[in-house]
Chain A
Amino acid sequence: MISKHLQSFMRIGMSALFASAVLGFSAGSVMAEKVLRVAPHADLKNLDPIWTTAYITRNHGYMVYDTLIAMDADLNPQPQMLEGWDVSDDGLTYVFTLRDGLKWHDGAPVTSIDCIASIMRWSKRDGMGQKLADFTKSLTRVDDKTFKLVLNKPYGLVLASLGKISSNVPFMMPVRLAMMDAFEAVPEVVGSGPFIFDKDAWVPGAKVVYRKNTAYVPRSEPASYASGGKRVHVDTVEWIYIPDAATTMNALVAGEIDFWESPAVDLVPSMEDNADITIKVIDPLGTQGWLRPNHLNPPFDNPKARQALLHMVNQEDYLRAIIGDEKFWSTCPAYFMCGTPLDTDIGSEALVNQDLEKAKALLKEGGYNGETLILMDPTDIPVLHGASLVTAQMLRDIGAKVEVQAMDWSTLTSRRAEKKSIADGGWNIFHTYSTGADVSSPIANIGISGGCVEKAWFGWPCDRDGPDSLEGLRDAFSEESDPAKQKAIATKLQARAYEVVPYVNYGQWFQPTAYRSSLKGVLISPVPFFWNIELN
């Protein structure tokens, strides 16, 4: 009896298997979907690019949202969602007009009210947005496609702010989402960008799926950085988060993924000879390393001790330790990155000529009395771990006593917020890095702010009194619209920064990207974009 039942069950089971195999084959034959498989640099955990400054969420933002204005390859603002803008002769009134054919992913048209609400939400979270809000007298709707910004005094960075390329990017959202608290994440992802987020297919920690937005109308101009026509040549883009670098490399070599955003530099030589793989630096601005002293605790509350760090650092030592291959780094004394419009070497003599004796003397002059310096070392981020070890050794070389405290990055982000003295668990130094897109403007570069405990970034440099202070010069820069005059102010700002030393720049490097050579149209840009790419 049992045997009969079993036989019958097996017959049914095998029939079902056969039928599904046939069905599966048919389905597979019909669906010739073009899928671009990307291994991103991190897992997408938050979906709201205004709520967080995380780069992975910024990149997600570019997939699903659009911006009013976008930067081109010369870092000039170009209309993106806008048809254009008019500026009054006194520079106080901007009238923005939306272009035709803009629609949200739910089919509703994009209106000026949506844009006003989005700008207001963004300006509560972003540094450049807050600055713009300080200068704003009113932001009002003219009609469904037009809105007007009136300033209380001239501000030179209106277009640069609305076209900001990196976090937080002023992405446009429907008014119902943009009216939400800027400190809470929006509950749904509805943009007007070239891709639609597939929420059902999202597996946090593993996979993100974007479908082509067939209703999107790209601009006619060629794509250039974030500006121009966002033409999508694939049906789907999948972000497959692979935490292990060796596995990602193997997957790329085997053709299981098409694009690896940030390959580990030590694995690049293993792929360079493979004709199926292209290795290319697609971010021309690069990344800048920061050694951040705590300006509240001795000895780095004294500018002499901070200047000692300038004489101590040799950028080449850091870059060889953390990046290695010379193709991917260059020494650079510019606070606003080398190769950008504000590039200058003024004031950098101490940084470019390492002098350990001078550093030792300055540290002593700065009040250092042999106390133990606390250096926080995030061991889970190889670049920062390497930089921490180099700094620790150099500090010992100039006679300092150093305690390297190993921790993960998450712990460091909470420890660095502590303003306590060393005896109570405070800190002296940590390292981080920032991309050129975030550093190349004195206003976007938060590391250079001298806003003290109230406004400055962690480490709290304080230099805000008078027009020649860090804050005074940043204000002057923001009020100026003439590029030549802006450059002159930025040059003075850098000279001042080399006196005050808000942070020490330990070098500039260029993260390569690896992708299958069959991909065409990969864009050069500080942010990886997935429009314009064709699968062959």
Chain B
Amino acid sequence: MFAYVIRRILATIPVMGVVAIFVFLLLHLTPGDPAAVIAGDYASPADVERIRETLGLNRPLHIQFFTWAGRLFQGDLGISIFSKVPVIKLIGQRIEPTLALATTTIFFAVLVAVPLGVLAAWKSGTWIDRSVMIFAVLGFSVPIFIIAYSMIWTLSIHLHWFPVQGYKSFLIQTGTGIDGAAIIGIGFEGVCRDSGRSGCGLVPFFRHITLPSVALGLVYVALIARITRASVMEVLTEDYIRTAHAKGLSSRVVLIRHALKNASVPIVTVIGIGIALLLGGVVVTESVFNIPGLGRLTVDAILHRDYPIIQGLILIFAGVYVLINLLVDISYTFLDPRIRY
């Protein structure tokens, strides 16, 4: 098992290398010029050329690649062409909202979808089953932005239950260290660690993250509920389920201990894929709810051809995909004793 994990981790190195080369070439061969965007619409052609020169964008492509790759090996993702802020800092500023959104979304999706799927399988062919499946079809079919705007209109604008937009961290300043630096912790409500103003903590966090998580999570609820239903239905026809019933076990115990556990491999697989797909799904959700996360950073960087940011982000996304796949594979060994690496 340990050797397998090490092999899989080592296998990520060539994957990341290929991703790095591919992304670099694709970006630099795509039309678009960051120097022209920086100079602005009314700059003269000579000014644009001069900026291109100072940014090193007129150097041969292979020189630019090796310069970037050399820095990458030292753990330096480069500096944004536009803001001159290190890419690692930009990603650091944006990673918490995206992680928070992805985590709450997956929690919401799993907590709602798995019981729904099991219920639909248990009550297969009844109105409950059909209702769950209608909900699943709707969850798949209605675009996120329609769900999001509908929720904003009703729950934020008219009922004032939730804010329209923005993100508040659950981390707050809980005190000051002897060196004068703020001590960061988790609390219900308090002073934000970055701005020094009140308005952060768990209460503001959940007020801001609930609508985006639900809007984004509905499609995953639909996906996971359908897979859960199908897997559990298949397992329910097995002999050992009949045996469990014959032994006099209650339906709840049969469903949860025997059926759901044995149906869990495909469910975990689809949850893993869902987490990976979330990275794409957050782009729309972050835009609609104005959450300053990695999705928006990616779109902005692509629109402005901020090459170092795009390259850094895609490498990180690729790493996350590989890691999630690895974790899903490892989880199989816990869920199904027959699977061994």
Contacts and interface: CB of A to CB of B under 8 A. Distances in A.
Interface of A: 16-21, 23-25, 27-28, 31, 33, 43, 45-47, 51-55, 57, 125, 127, 167, 181, 183-185, 187, 200-201, 203-207, 209, 240, 242-244, 246-247, 250-251, 253-254, 256, 380, 407-411, 413-415, 417, 432, 434, 438, 446, 455, 457-458
Given A53-B40, A187-B84, A204-B83, A20 B303 contact: no
Nearest to A460: B45
A247 B197 contact: no
B31 A53 contact: no
Interface stretch (B156-164, B218-226, B234-242): B156-164
Interface residues of B, number: 67
A117 B96 CA distance: 42
Nearest to A46: B82
Given A53-B41, A209-B195, A24 B190 contact: yes
A276 to B, nearest CB: 12
B325 interface: no
Given A413-B37, A455-B44, A45 B304 contact: yes
A136 to B, nearest CB: 20
Interface in B28-57: 30-34, 36-45, 47-48, 50-51, 53-54
- Name A's interface SS: mixed
B185 A20 contact: yes
A184 B52 CA distance: 10
A24 B163 contact: no
A458 B40 CA distance: 12
B196 to A, nearest CB: 8
Interface string B69-95: 000000000001011110000100110
A414 B84 contact: no
Contacts of B42: 53, 167, 434, 438, 446, 457
Contacts of A203: 93-94, 292
B153 to A, nearest CB: 8
Contacts of B50: 183
Contact of A52 (B39, B44, B288): B39
Most chain B CB atoms below 10 A, which of A54, A240, A407: A54
Given A52-B38, A53-B41, A27 B186 contact: no
Contacts of B84: 47, 185, 187
Contact of A23 (B164, B190, B287, B288): B190
B190 A414 contact: no
B185 A24 contact: no
Contacts of B83: 45-47, 204
Nearest to B30: A411
Contact of B197 (A33, A251, A380, A410): A33
A247 B32 contact: no
B103 interface: no
Contacts of A205: 90, 94, 292, 296-297, 300
19 contacts: A16-B174, A19-B187, A20-B185, A20-B188, A20-B189, A21-B189, A23-B187, A23-B191, A24-B190, A53-B39, A53-B41, A187-B84, A204-B93, A244-B290, A247-B152, A408-B303, A410-B32, A413-B33, A446-B42
